[in-house]
Amino acid sequence: MIKEHILALPLIPLFIGCSQKQNKPDESPNIIIMLADDLGYNDLSCYRDNHQYSGISPTCETPFIDSLAKKGMRFTNFYCGAAVSSPSRSALLTGRNKTRLGIYNWIPENSPMHLRNEETTIAEILKQKNYLTGHFGKWHLTSANMEQPEPLNQGFDYAFWTYNNAQPSHENPVNFIDNRDTVGELTGYSCQLVVEKAMNWLEERKNMRQPFYINVWFHEPHSIEAAPDSLKNRHKMNQAYYGCIENMDYAVGEFLKYLRRNNLDENTIIVFSSDNGSCYLGSNAPFRGEKCFQYEGGIRVPFIAYWKDKIQAGTTSEITGHFTDVLPTIASITKCKMPENKKIDGEDITDVFLGRVKDLQNRKPVFFYRYFHDPICMLRQGNMVMLGYQNEPKPRQMNYDEREEALFKPSNGEPLWSQWSFQKSHMDTLILQEPKYFELYNIEDDPGQYNDISSEHSELTEDMKNTILKLRNEMIEEGGNWFTDN
């Protein structure tokens, strides 16, 4: 594996085999979902062409991910599932708003909060069509030692994974699990280890015609960052952060090369996105805010979709999309039945993928609720975005101090981050918590959220406010109380 130079990735044995026989174009497509961790909208170089920004801009380059966008469709108005990891991932896998799932925040160790077994994942619906399924990389939908569902319980045939972040950093991680067995210390960088394992798994399939679905969920660029010196030294600032983005991009490139050499891209849908925004100044430009916050910078993410000869190369879509759209879209494309007796918040966007329509008519509102930081609510309806606050809004900033702005702070003598883990006092608060102050933005005309126009649209403001209050209460009732219901 790489220690100092990126070109040292020892994956050659995987590239010298013969081309594999694959499912025919009219058969069920293979599906690959690649997900970065804490990657900002502006961190991909192909997204910097989309706007003007006069502030600090990332210096990382991502040619391999950019190439996926050039051959596929790049979405510019796509939202993740939440401003932090666990709830975002849960929305992606289930097609359901994370608050309905009861995933109210990121999942810490020894937490009752988790993705419940009765929820239906993408992997589980694809079993209707005999898909082979695998998960590679970060999971973060359950806690260790809590007897909660793990990837193998959620529809995956194989998993090479971690509960949360790579430890002690991306380099030589010690906390990977192979199905249910702890692996121990590995040599190399997490992004490369994850990709190498995914390629080995694809190489070893017994039935090469059986369609497959895999998650390739990177740990990069979430802290604690690590990357080869040859990549870090290219940058004057944020060296480790930009370096590990480029390291991840190279791993994506090796994976894409492997797929092409083995004809595995002939009938394969590939999606690339990020679980939420970045913590770094400039990485979420031109948007306001960052990870943890439900301003655009925390929740609007890069989203790229590729499907050879089906999705027109080099296209851009401005539709309002959301992680919850992924499951119903995959179900539609593969002709799988949707989960029964479950409220699905996402919508089928197959017609957008295939270029049949450019706009979604009568799109359901996109809703976010997270109790830990103001604004606690966000609602997008058409081109309008409403923010709902527990406390009176403060003067606008581009980036915010997530610790200083937290609505839960440690008492005297408590550790600095003692309130960041989900706990009973949080549950007690969020049941009763409601937004009291509201702002309204035309997000098409004002993507940086500079001008609150709520006073100019009193009727719309009242209507969207009522929608926020209704959705929040409805979803929390469904999500339940982790300390009394279980």
d(CA 367, CA 377): 7
Does residue 7 lie within any of the structural domains?
no
* Last residue within a domain, chosen from 332, 353, 374: 353
Does residue 358 lie within any of the structural domains?
no
User: Which pLDDT score is estimated for 246?
Assistant: 98
Peptide bond into 228 cis (omega under 30): no
Give per-residue pLDDT as tens, 23-72. 554 589 999 999 999 999 999 999 997 777 767 899 999 999 999 999 99
Task: Retrieve residue 422's tokens.
Answer: 């989900």
User: Which pLDDT score is estimated for 1?
Assistant: 38
Domain residues for the domain of 144 are 27-353
Whether 282 and 345 share a structural domain: yes
d(CA 278, CA 233): 21
Does residue 269 lie within any of the structural domains?
yes
Q: What residues does 136 pair with on adjacent strands?
A: 160, 216
Q: What are the 10-residue block averages of pLDDT along the chain, 486 residues in total?
A: 42 44 69 98 92 83 98 98 98 98 96 97 98 98 94 98 97 98 97 98 92 98 97 97 98 98 96 98 95 98 98 97 98 96 96 93 94 98 97 90 95 92 96 97 96 98 98 98 88
Cα torsion angle, 197, 132, 274, 377, sign: negative
Give per-residue pLDDT as tens, 249-274. 999 999 999 999 999 999 999 999 99
User: Which pLDDT score is estimated for 56?
Assistant: 84
pTM of the predicted protein model: 0.94
Does residue 6 lie within any of the structural domains?
no
Whether 397 and 264 share a structural domain: no
User: Which pLDDT score is estimated for 8?
Assistant: 43
Whether 174 and 212 share a structural domain: yes
* Last residue within a domain, chosen from 293, 318, 353: 353
User: Which pLDDT score is estimated for 22?
Assistant: 53
CATH code, 33? 3.40.720.10
Does residue 178 lie within any of the structural domains?
yes
- For residue 85, which amino acid is it? S
Does residue 18 lie within any of the structural domains?
no
Whether 191 and 45 share a structural domain: yes
Whether 172 and 193 share a structural domain: yes
User: Which pLDDT score is estimated for 418?
Assistant: 92
Whether 334 and 445 share a structural domain: no
Whether 51 and 124 share a structural domain: yes
Cα torsion angle, 79, 436, 468, 341, sign: positive
Does residue 370 lie within any of the structural domains?
yes
Whether 304 and 387 share a structural domain: no
Whether 285 and 198 share a structural domain: yes
Whether 405 and 319 share a structural domain: no
- CB distance 278 to 37 below 8 Å: no
* Last residue within a domain, chosen from 329, 353, 377: 353
User: Which pLDDT score is estimated for 4?
Assistant: 41
Whether 32 and 59 share a structural domain: yes
d(CA 263, CA 251): 18
Whether 303 and 374 share a structural domain: no
Angle (nearest 5°) at CA 351 between 340 and 68: 105
- CB distance 86 to 140 below 8 Å: yes
Could you count the other beta carbons within 10 Å of the beta carbon of residue 448?
19
CATH code, 386? 3.30.1120
User: Which pLDDT score is estimated for 182?
Assistant: 96
Does residue 35 lie within any of the structural domains?
yes
User: Which pLDDT score is estimated for 55?
Assistant: 79
Domain count across the chain: 2
User: Which pLDDT score is estimated for 51?
Assistant: 73
d(CA 93, CA 293): 22
User: Which pLDDT score is estimated for 18?
Assistant: 45
User: Which pLDDT score is estimated for 24?
Assistant: 56
